[in-house]
Amino acid sequence: MEEKTKAGSKRTKLGFWKWAIASIVLRLILSYFSKYLNLSSRPEVSTPLTSLRRLAEGYWLKQLSISPYSGSMYHGSPLLLSILGPLTAKKIEGHASHLLCSLVSVIADFISAILIRATGHILVTAHGHSLKALGLDKLFKDTEILPSGDIAALVYLWNPFTIISCIGFNTSPIENLFVILSLYGASAGLVPLAAFGWVIASHLSLYPLVLVIPVIFLLGYGLDAPPRKLFVQSNLLVGEERSKDQVGVKNKPIKTTNFAWRRVVLFFFWATIWITYVLILCAISMKDYGGLAEMFKRTYGFTLTVKDLSPNIGVLWYFFAEVFDFFRNFFVIVFHVNILFMILPLAIRLNHRPCFLVFVYLAISSMLKSYPSVGDSALYLSLLVLFVNELSEMKLSFFLFCGYVGVSLLSPVMHNLWIWRGTGNANFYFATAMAYASFQIILVVESVSAMLNYDRKIRKLCTTPL
Amino acid sequence: MSRLKFSFLLFLILLWGSESTAEEEKEANEEFTEALLLRPLPDRKVLAHFHFQSSAPPTQTYGRHHYIFPKSIYQLVHKFHIREMELSFTQGRWNYERWGGFDPISSSNAKPPGVELWADFDVPQNQVDDSWKNLTHALSGLFCASINFLEHSTSYSATQWSFQSSSSGKLRYGTLPREAVCTENLTPWLKLLPCRDKAGLSSLMDRPSIYRGYYHSQRLHLKSDEFDTSKISSSGIVLEQTLTVVLQPNTFSGKKLQPSWSLSSLFGRKVTGKCSLSNSSNVYVQFQQNLVSEENESREKSEAQKNEILIHEGSHNNPLFALSHPPKRVIKEVENFQKEGSILYEYSVEDYDEYGPFELGLRWKVPVIWSCQQAPLHASRFLLGSGNERGAIAISMKSTRSNDIEIAGLDDEKACSLRVGIFQVVPWYVKVYYHTLEVFLDGESQATMDNIEKIHVSPSEDKVSPGVMEIVLRLPCSVKTAALTLEFDKGFLHIDEYPPDANQGFDIPSAVVHFADFVANMSFEDNLSKEIPILSKLQEKIPVRSYTEVLLVPLTTPDFSMPYNVITMTCTIFALYFGSLLNALRRRRGEEERLLKGKGAEKGPLSLLLSRLSAKLRGKQWEPPKPSSSSSKKSSVNYKLVAKVVLVAGIAIVWQFYYQ
């Protein structure tokens, strides 16, 4: 990770836009040749939930006035079907062209990058403000504050995972876009936008549902800052000692300690509006095919019960292919509860850093998700880069970087050996999946402890008299 | 006294009843006929087609008791309200190119390998599936076969147009391509015949010689209109049992000459008379009209023509071949504009007995080469792609127009089109993308779907139902080749769902290709032939139908020995995640340092070394442990500890107290 961010910082000096446009051009070139790359059927890239090929099948069935969900092929949202479906059916010069779909994902990627950049700018300013409020700005003067937004956006654009999932004909760029939209809306204080992003993202891929907690914190407490207790303490200190020097900054930290109930209520109001809107649209498009119950069963039910056992980069497929049928339900519950169990402790411990909490939740869900793809890791990796300044002392970052590179090189090799050549074994591929899961776990744990250490450092600096 | 009266009354009633049935007996009675059709095939083989038909009059007029008709079949029909049913056990594949694909026998008796069963029920729509399930179990017991595997909804499907019955939606179709067919299936089938294999034509069925053949298909076809209330006069239940075998006569007649054969050389047995319960017991020898000797054509053209004339005249002893017995009757097919007629020589077994068994022989005099009539298109099916992830199914159809088959009922060559119906069932673990359906005509991909007249797709549902595709293509007559491709992904199954020999692969059942515009039937002049079931069967108008190959799809297998390892290792990973994250969250820097210092102070040089090592590994400055100075802090910790212990103890006491 460290390497990447360093490379990113060098790039930003060369100019953000130049590199952003270069990445878009690269994507366009690659998507023109994507027919030969054959990425759309890679298990790393497209899952049963996100594959556009399955979406095309669903659209075709719908055109024949059969339910798009009949035939266990399509498991996505009916809204995506009506938006992207016509694009998949368009044929240019006789053969089906996916160029239009790739164009959509390129645009989605670009917008996501811009939103990440904007979020990063907001975060950096907030970071500076909070340091100033604590009176620590002088201490950090020698270490320059990196423009983490630019770096994160470039990491998002140039991450091989993002590029692969962008040209791999799947819907994960669009799902990522809505997650980022929600994050941006919440951090910029745009309540309807945040609600819209959250509702659509949860509708498309279910797991962003847990993001409601960080979004509420963002709207209620404001942006990422050191623990609120410190502001109170430093306020007292400042009030005692240096009340004459700094008057303007004094009010701000006190304001942040209050929970802005109005905005949260507004958020829920907007979320309700968007949910009803989405559900009505879905009900209209599913009217002849069994209604909303059928949709929930085929999309969320499929996600939660892990019915498809085709290999992917997660660990659940092999587990459920091997586990005894008697215990299946038990383990389905255990694995999903594992995501839910960690929500509360993380929310308590990191409630002052909601954006970071978003990263942690996304990383956890992309690890424990039933059908993970590299698109999910692309999203959380670029969000991680948003906290370059805070996580500069993260341990094991080089090891993790090497691990990610190693797994992403080994996993296709093992897949090839097992599926195409028949010389390997399912265990080889599963081993890479387990290694990948372990690296993700280490990444999450290390980044969380690095963030907590950073907070400790700030606290130490605040409490020790200057 | 009253009892006597009653019995007398009963006797009277019975007497009257028997008289009345005796009157009706002339109209409807149980009937059984047997017949054997022999036909030399172009590739030095012989087709033997046994045909047994038993019929029972309707229950309303005849009652429930039968003396010929098998009771088990009667009960089957009545229990499950079967309107029509066909069950076939086949081993080997019918060679459409050599043995013909455009005659009644190949259209109705060439069956896919393994077991094929379809049944049309006369029950309300919601009971059809239950009836089917019960029927499969009953048949499974009746025929000693694993037909009960067709019970699962993943193995059968509903068809709409592909089988001739009206599209009532009550027809179910299922196949078991891997079912091994052997004598254990033939014996129960023979038990349904009144004479079993003890007398009559069925006594020819010597097991070794039948199973030595190249193709073996035993079929059971049931038709009943007992439950059809709309019809006033029903014809009862008709049970048709056929056995079609292709045998190689084991004679050494040289390479050029077609092998000569006799019944005893084919079957190793002789017919010693008819089954005494059968109404008729005939043997037919059929010669197809394309019997043209190429050698004769080149050498003695005039003579060859003479030969043909002779065949037309129906002599049993002509320059081409000689039959050992003079036929009882010669039946000529009426030549129509579609095709030339063929000739049937009829023999009756009735005239023979144990002392003078019926021993028919055929001896070829000159080398003869001819070809059978082909269906308009020859269909074959194969898999595309490699690897265990995805692939494609291709059905290719080659035109056989060299045989000058005229298109039925179409005069204008420009508007001429060929309607081809394809019916394909795909198991659920082969996940077909129906939107990738592509039609190629003469090697060119057709962009638009103009060639598809109608299509019906019911996609497969994981672990619930197979994928069914029925499609009717309208092809131009001039087409040379047509192909159909469908892409698919291979599914991954749970370890319990794999069969014991998982690496052998999985079968995709045969696709059915049928030509709706073509009817394979013979038409005979004689009115007499209508009374004989086999001849009326040959005259029946059935669409030309052929089956494609069974496909073998290898699927990836997981490691079958790993469940415990996978469970434990995955759970370890989850424990690692849960534990380490929770630990990172609840750890406090102050406590940690204190703990470190306390330990460092207490322990000896080894732990010091260890802590120095760990500090080095972490890349931090190692600090020598200092003696803890703050005793007040320690005491506060002790207070807390004491408080905690007291709290826990209090809870325990309350708990104990409350539950006692």
Does residue B65 belong to the interface with chain A, where contact is any CB pair within 8 Å?
no
Compare A128 and A91 and report the one with higher pLDDT: A128
One-letter amino acid for residue B590 of the chain: G
What pTM did the predictor assign? 0.83
Q: How far apart are CA B391 and CA B431, in angstroms?
A: 10
pLDDT band (50, 70, 90) for residue B298 = very low
Cα-based distances in Å from B300 to A376, B26, B297, B322: 82, 56, 6, 20
pLDDT band (50, 70, 90) for residue B295 = very low
Residues of A in contact with B573 (CB under 8 A): 315, 434, 437-438, 441
Q: How far apart are CA B413 and CA B477, in angstroms?
A: 8
Is B140 a residue whose pLDDT tops 70? yes
Of B519, B299, B536, the C-alpha closest to B409 is B519
pLDDT tens figures, A38-76: 787 888 888 999 988 899 899 999 988 889 998 888 999
Interface list for B 566-585 with A (CB within 8 A): 566-567, 569-570, 573-574, 576-578, 580-582, 584-585
Instruction: Give the closest-approach CA distance of A265 to chain B in angstroms.
Output: 29
Cα-based distances in Å from B59 to A30, A242, B26, B659: 74, 111, 16, 74
pLDDT band (50, 70, 90) for residue A246 = very low
User: With an 8 Å Cβ cutoff, are A444 and B581 in contact?
Assistant: yes
CB B220 within 8 A of CB B193: no
Q: What angle do CA B242, B244, B250 make, to 5 degrees?
A: 145
Does residue A341 belong to the interface with chain B, where contact is any CB pair within 8 Å?
yes
Percent of chain B with pLDDT over 90: 28
Q: Beta strand pairing status for B390-399 and B481-490?
A: antiparallel
pLDDT band (50, 70, 90) for residue A300 = very high
Helix (H) or strand (E) holding A266: helix A261-285
pLDDT tens figures, A134-158: 777 776 666 677 788 899 999 999 9
Q: Who among A73, A309, A311 is closest to B493 (CB)?
A: A309
B129 φ/ψ angles, rounded to the nearest 5 degrees: -65, -40
Q: Who among A41, A309, A368 is closest to B492 (CB)?
A: A309
Chain centroid to Cα A200, Å, comes to 14
Q: How far apart are CA A285 and CA B406, in angstroms?
A: 50
pLDDT tens figures, B475-507: 888 888 999 999 999 989 999 889 888 888 899
Helix (H) or strand (E) holding A376: helix A374-385
The number of CA neighbours under 13 Å toward the Cβ of B614 is 10
One-letter amino acid for residue A440 of the chain: Q
- pLDDT at A450 (0 to 100): 92
Q: What angle do CA A378, A381, A387 make, to 5 degrees?
A: 150
DSSP state of B480: S
Q: Beta strand pairing status for B156-158 and B171-176?
A: antiparallel
- pLDDT at B358 (0 to 100): 85
The number of CA neighbours under 13 Å toward the Cβ of A114 is 9
Q: Who among A321, A395, A448 is closest to B585 (CB)?
A: A448
CB B578 within 8 A of CB A441: no
Is B409 a residue whose pLDDT tops 50? no
Is B407 a residue whose pLDDT tops 70? no
Cα-based distances in Å from A48 to A204, A298, A307, A309: 13, 12, 10, 10
Per DSSP, the three-state class of A388 is: coil
CB A156 within 8 A of CB A112: yes
Q: Which two tokens stand for residue A26?
A: 């690269």
Interface list for B 533-562 with A (CB within 8 A): 556-559, 562
Is B101 a residue whose pLDDT tops 80? yes
Nearest CA in chain A to B454: A64
Is A6 a residue whose pLDDT tops 60? no
pLDDT tens figures, A338-372: 888 889 999 988 988 999 999 999 999 999 899 99
Chain centroid to Cα B294, Å, comes to 39
Of B517, B520, B429, B550, the C-alpha closest to B109 is B520
Q: How far apart are CA A366 and CA A340, in angstroms?
A: 13
Percent of chain A with pLDDT over 70: 88
pLDDT band (50, 70, 90) for residue B526 = low
pLDDT tens figures, A165-207: 988 888 999 999 999 999 999 999 899 999 999 999 999 999 9
DSSP state of A419: I
Of A43, A47, A44, the C-alpha closest to A307 is A47
Q: Which two tokens stand for residue A155?
A: 């990491």
What's B263-285 look like in SS3?
A: HHHHHCCCECCCCCCCCEEEEEE
Report the DSSP beta bridge partners of residue B431: B489
**Rg value, chain A, Cα:** 23
Task: Render the burial of B233-256: b for 16+ CB within 10 Å, e for the rest.
Answer: ebebbbbbbbbbbbbbbebeeeee
User: With an 8 Å Cβ cutoff, are A425 and B559 in contact?
Assistant: yes
Least confident of A21-25, A86-90, B144-148, B488-492: A86-90
- pLDDT at A152 (0 to 100): 92
**Rg value, chain B, Cα:** 38
pLDDT band (50, 70, 90) for residue B627 = very low
User: With an 8 Å Cβ cutoff, are A419 and B387 in contact?
Assistant: yes
Residues of B in contact with A441 (CB under 8 A): 573, 576-577, 580-581
CB B30 within 8 A of CB B36: no
Instruction: Give the closest-approach CA distance of A305 to chain B in angstroms.
Output: 13
Does residue A420 belong to the interface with chain B, where contact is any CB pair within 8 Å?
yes
DSSP state of B127: G
pLDDT band (50, 70, 90) for residue A435 = very high
Q: Which two tokens stand for residue A123?
A: 């975060």
The number of CA neighbours under 13 Å toward the Cβ of B452 is 18
One-letter amino acid for residue B83 of the chain: R
Most confident of A323-337, B243-257, B302-316, B596-610: A323-337
> A98 CB contacts (<8 Å, ≥6 apart)?
A31, A34, A35, A40, A52, A88, A169
- pLDDT at B317 (0 to 100): 55
Of A150, A134, A180, the C-alpha closest to A362 is A180
The number of CA neighbours under 13 Å toward the Cβ of B153 is 9
pLDDT band (50, 70, 90) for residue A37 = confident
- pLDDT at B620 (0 to 100): 58
> A207 CB contacts (<8 Å, ≥6 apart)?
A339, A365, A366, A369
Task: Render the burial of A353-372: b for 16+ CB within 10 Å, e for the rest.
Answer: bbbbbbbbbbbbbbbbbbbb
Q: How far apart are CA B385 and CA B392, in angstroms?
A: 6
Q: What angle do CA A442, A443, A446 make, to 5 degrees?
A: 80
Is A393 a residue whose pLDDT tops 70? yes
Q: Which two tokens stand for residue B621?
A: 């400055």
Per DSSP, the three-state class of A313 is: coil
Of B282, B307, B312, the C-alpha closest to B297 is B307
pLDDT tens figures, B174-215: 999 988 888 899 999 999 999 888 888 888 888 888 888 899
Per DSSP, the three-state class of B158 is: strand
Cα-based distances in Å from A340 to A217, A438, B128, B575: 18, 19, 45, 15
pLDDT band (50, 70, 90) for residue A407 = very high
Residues of A in contact with B390 (CB under 8 A): 41
For chain B, list the domains and their CATH numbers: 35-301+316-364 (no CATH), 377-402+415-510+549-553 (2.60.40.740)
Least confident of A154-158, B15-19, B372-376, B450-454: B15-19
Q: What angle do CA B79, B82, B87 make, to 5 degrees?
A: 110
- pLDDT at B165 (0 to 100): 54
Q: Hunting for tokens 């050992």 — which residue is that?
A: B324
Q: What angle do CA B24, B29, B31 make, to 5 degrees?
A: 165
